[in-house]
Homo-oligomer: A and B are copies of this chain.
Amino acid sequence: MDAALKQALDTWVDRSSPTLLIEAMRYSVESGGKRLRPILCVAACEAVGGKEVQAMDAACALEFIHAYSLIHDDLPAMDNDDLRRGKPTCHKAFGEAVAVLAGDALLTAAFELLAAGPHAGDIDPAISLAVIRLIAKAAGALGMVQGQMLDITLEGLEAHWEQVQRMQQLKTGALIRASVEAGALLGGASSPTLDCISAFGANIGLAFQMIDDILNVEGNPEILGKPVGSDETMRKATSPAVLGLQAAKVYAAGLLESALAQLVPLGTVGRPLAGLARFIVERKN
């Protein structure tokens, strides 16, 4: 996946001589991470009988959108984080103005990739439009951006679990769900299969954020590559904070079970997706 992303960056944002803006974009996309969204997108495509190549433009676009969201979330006016994956955040490395613009440019590049990526010629234009629609919806004012807004709004408040759950479904869940939905659409999934994949994505999307919160309480800072305990310091509305640590773990395990149940109709081709779901819940970083 890293090689494909590098290629997407090379062909997509590096066509002119390198500038500070493009350096900042590359810095943020190439700084590692789990590549979970692109991997899920490709796995969902293959699980419904599609080929990796059909999902590759969308996979890279999803990682661009994820990278943009991290750059903007880390800004001083937002979470004000100095470190990300053990390296200075984009605004620490390039300045705040460049970071805002690098995020904007990555978001825009994602849609250019979705509309006209290297593999666009192999995809039915109507499917490409459907994928753009679902990713834009998941990333926008009623999805990820709204989730980030709720995250800021709930900070320091006595939030209910329903509020925290809604925030997490939007902030993190929506784009993870869209990743598998996009892969399945591009792989030519039938409507009932798409429903299963979508429900699977909703479950693992919420589970992913819950595990993130749990690791922020009891994770190993060396394995995580970032300090723990920051959510409590900032009085973030998290699942361990409102449910308690133990109940949050039980809830996340239940989400994993629900996710796996959705894959039963797919048979053995669903196994890689099942493995990814287990990784999400059992990971240590």
**Chain A interface (Cβ < 8 Å from any Cβ of B):** 13, 15-16, 19-22, 25, 68, 72, 75, 77-78, 95-98, 100-101, 103-105, 107-109, 111-112, 114-116, 120, 124-126, 128-130, 132-133, 136-137, 139-142, 145-146, 148-149, 152-153
Contact = CB atoms under 8 A, between A and B. Distances in A.
Nearest to A108: B140
Contact of A120 (B13, B68, B129): B129
Given A98-B149, A107-B107, A125-B128, 18 more contacts: A13-B141, A19-B146, A19-B149, A25-B141, A77-B100, A101-B149, A103-B104, A108-B136, A112-B137, A112-B140, A115-B129, A115-B132, A116-B129, A120-B129, A125-B126, A125-B129, A128-B129, A129-B129
Contacts of A146: 19, 21, 105
A185 B98 CA distance: 33
A130 B16 CA distance: 21
Contacts of A98: 149
B139 A108 contact: yes
Contacts of A68: 104
A15 to B, nearest CB: 7
A146 B13 CA distance: 11
B145 A21 contact: yes
Nearest to A124: B125
Interface pairs A-B: 10 shortest CB-CB = A112-B136, A77-B96, A108-B140, A125-B125, A105-B141, A115-B132, A116-B133, A105-B145, A111-B111, A115-B133
Contacts of A75: 97, 100
A78 B100 contact: yes
A278 to B, nearest CB: 31
A171 to B, nearest CB: 11
B116 A100 contact: no
A109 B141 CA distance: 7
Contacts of A114: 132
Contact of A132 (B78, B132, B142, B145): B132
22 contacts: A13-B142, A19-B149, A20-B149, A21-B149, A22-B141, A75-B97, A78-B97, A97-B152, A105-B140, A105-B145, A105-B146, A108-B139, A108-B140, A109-B140, A112-B133, A112-B140, A115-B130, A115-B133, A116-B130, A124-B125, A125-B125, A128-B129
B136 A115 contact: yes
Nearest to A149: B21
A141 B77 CA distance: 23
- Interface hub of A77, A96, A130 (most chain B Cβ within 10 A): A77
Contacts of A153: 20
Contacts of A115: 129-130, 132-133, 136
